[in-house]
Every structure is written in structure tokens, then in C-alpha cells.
Amino acid sequence: MTWPRVRLGDVLQPVPRPVDVDGAAEYREIGIRSHGRGLFHKEPISGTALGEKKVFWVEPGDFVLNIVFAWEGAVGIVGEAETGMIGSHRFPTFRPDVSRLDTRFLLHYFRTKEGLDALLRVSPGGAGRNRTLSRNAFLNLVVPLPALPEQRSVVQQVEELERKIAEAARPRCLADASIAGAWERAAEDRLARVTATRPLGELVRLQGGGTPSKANPLYWSGSIPWVSPKDMKRWEIDDSEDHISVEATQESPAKLVKAGALLIVTRGMILVRTVPVGRLTVDATINQDMKALHAGDVDAEYLLFALRALNRGLLALVAKSTHDTRKLETDKLLSFPVPVPSRDEQVAIVAYLKRLRDTLAAASERAAAAGKELDFLARVALSRAFAPAFEKRPTSEAMAS
């Protein structure tokens, strides 16, 4: 039997709670992951740092979404863990008519294809940040809504199946975590046998980066990679998301970095978790949040493996800087002790760590394949639970939605 449908605004009402920001107070903002993966908490921020930013209190039980990424399922429910937290103007909060709506049902509905299509329709504009949800159009959506007991039954069915799937996936998650840490632990152990160390500054020549003026479109019309922290996800860097022209390398601080140099991120929030290091395989440029290391008295490939292996030591040097971001000071970086064996031993260590890396990468690929199968099962379970919402409806009702 097909479920009845209701206008969303009849069961969900916007409830904004403006915050009178105290410059001396500290606040925690929420964020929302896409694809219905729940809320997360941002780093604490002072009222002074918030400045004139409009922020609002969130309360447990709120249905909340990110108007910029609602079209890809950035919706969630505020829980007890978010008590006393805030959200920006991009995170409107709504309260349900609890006699008619279980927000968990609505949350799961917006994870289905039909639910995501509905959010896409009320988020006009281009791709990405240009596609912003219209709050009025959102409240005018017509959504499937069975009686409250059936909503709860669907929620229980979906969450029980997903709990079982999560239990099946747990060994894979543990395997992924083990794989991620196994190489670093093995590499640390191998390097611990090297007794001779030297400060990094004695082994490399440092080169900084910069950003060409955005006001000059000619600077951004070339083919030279301009590497920034978002590109530092691989061992070897052969391209970047952004590119600049030859003129930019001649007239701005973004000078050419020769292939073979190591790149390291020295500023940005990525430094909360890791200090990315990679090796350039093409001539490129870098932005001001990074440094290029030109190896001298050490094999460049060995240095790459050593800095990757000693990442926890580098991370310990990271400190907070202005506006609560993270920074690895140049003097601390150049003072960092690096094990330096003989050239022959450097080559042998690289060969050993390469073999280990490739073996672990193959294991990770097998774990990822198993994860895709479990994700498919989760989508099937969700689709079956909401089957009555997708049965063919009368033309007039279909047009209303």
C-alpha cells in the first residue's frame, strides 16, 4: 500500500535561535557530513574569532541541514552530544510535530534516491557551493509520511539492518586501521637501528611558495601545476587541481620547483592529523602553505621515506597559530633530526620499505572491495524499507511533489 504524502512544512517548523556572541567566550560549531553520515564537531573557537559571523544555538532533537550541501544528503539530527553548540546561518534548525513525524524517518528518507532528488530540486544553481537550498522550497516539498507507528517500524528495520552490516564491516575497518599504521610502525622500527642523525636543515635547501594575484586572469590560464595542501594525498605529486602560467612564475612569489624536490605542508588544518609529504615528479609551483625540500647530502627518495616514517615526530612540532589554524614553524622543521645511514644502507632501506608499502597497499585494496559490497547491501536495505514510498502515485500527486 502506498504511503500518504504531506507537505514538509506542515510537520516541520523552522526554529532559529540567534546567539549574542560574547567575545570572551569559547564556542563549538557543528558540521554535517554528506550522504546522511551525521554531524561532527569543529575545533573550539573564541567569540572574538567569530567576529560578526551570524551563528545560532542548536538543541537536541533539531532536524538540521547544510544549505550548501543539502543536495548531496548533508542532513542530520542534533543529539545530546551537541548540547550547547552552535551552527552558522548555513545550518538552519527545524522542530518536528512529534505527534506526526519521527525525524529519524525523514533522515533516512533523504538518503534514498527519491529523497536526494527532492533535495536537489530545491537547491538551484550550479555545482558545488553554487547550489544552495531554498528554505521555502524545502518546506514546500511533499514527502511520503505513513502513520507514526509505521515510521518507527521503518526506522527500526533500517537501523537494525545497518547495525548488522556495520558489525560485518567492523573487521574491515580494523584491518584498514591496522594497514594504515603497520607501515609507519615497521618503518620507525627500521630507522631506529640507524644511530647517526643530522638536522633536516643540514640535508636540504628550503624553497617557499606563493599565490599569484587572482586579479590577473593571465596568471591562472597556464598549465604549470600549482600545488596546495589539498593536492598532497599521494606519495608522488604529478599534477594539481590548480594551474598557473609561465608569466605567474616570473612575476609572482610562486616560483618554479624542479621535479625531484620533496614537498611538505607547513600550514593548515590538515596538520591536526598528519604532516603530508610527497615527491614532485614534474616541475611545478607551490602555495605559501608549503615548503619544497631540495635534498643535498642525502638520497631524496630515502628522505621521503624517512619523513613519512617519522610523521608522528613531525606532528608533535605543530602548533596553533593565528585564527586557530595549525603551523609547522620553519626553524622547528629544519631542526628535526633525521637518521642518516650510509648511501648503500639508504638504498637498502628504501627497497625494503617499498616492498612493505606495496604489500600493504594490496591488502588495503582487498579490504576496500569488501567494503563496497557491504555498502551495496546497505543501499538495498534502505530501498526495500522505503518501497511503499516509491510505488506509482496518481499523476496529480506526483506533480505536487
Percent of the chain with pLDDT over 70: 86
pLDDT tens digits along 105-120 = 999 999 888 999 999 9
Distance of alpha carbon 311 from alpha carbon 183, whole angstroms: 12
Distance of alpha carbon 146 from alpha carbon 152, whole angstroms: 10
End-to-end alpha carbon distance in the chain: 18
Average pLDDT of span 254-267: 96
CB 38 within 8 A of CB 166: no
At residue 95, does pLDDT exceed 90?
yes
pLDDT at 157: 84
Q: Return phi, psi of residue 135, to 5°.
A: -65, -40
At residue 342, does pLDDT exceed 90?
yes
* Cell, residue 375: 555498502
Higher pLDDT residue, 359 or 76?
Answer: 76
pLDDT at 211: 94
Average confidence score pLDDT of the chain: 87
Beta bridge partners of 278: 263
Average pLDDT of span 236-240: 94
* Cell, residue 228: 596546495
pLDDT at 116: 92
Q: Return phi, psi of residue 360, to 5°.
A: -70, -35
At residue 174, does pLDDT exceed 50?
no
At residue 127, does pLDDT exceed 80?
no
At residue 350, does pLDDT exceed 80?
yes
The residue type of 85 is: M
Shortest CA distance to 296 belongs to which of 207, 208, 202, 197? 202
pLDDT at 378: 67
3-state class (DSSP) for residue 175: helix
Question: Which of 133-137, 209-213, 355-359 shows the lowest mean pLDDT across its residues?
Answer: 355-359
At residue 396, does pLDDT exceed 50?
no
CB 123 within 8 A of CB 71: yes
- 400 pLDDT band (50/70/90 cuts)? very low
Average pLDDT of span 21-34: 92
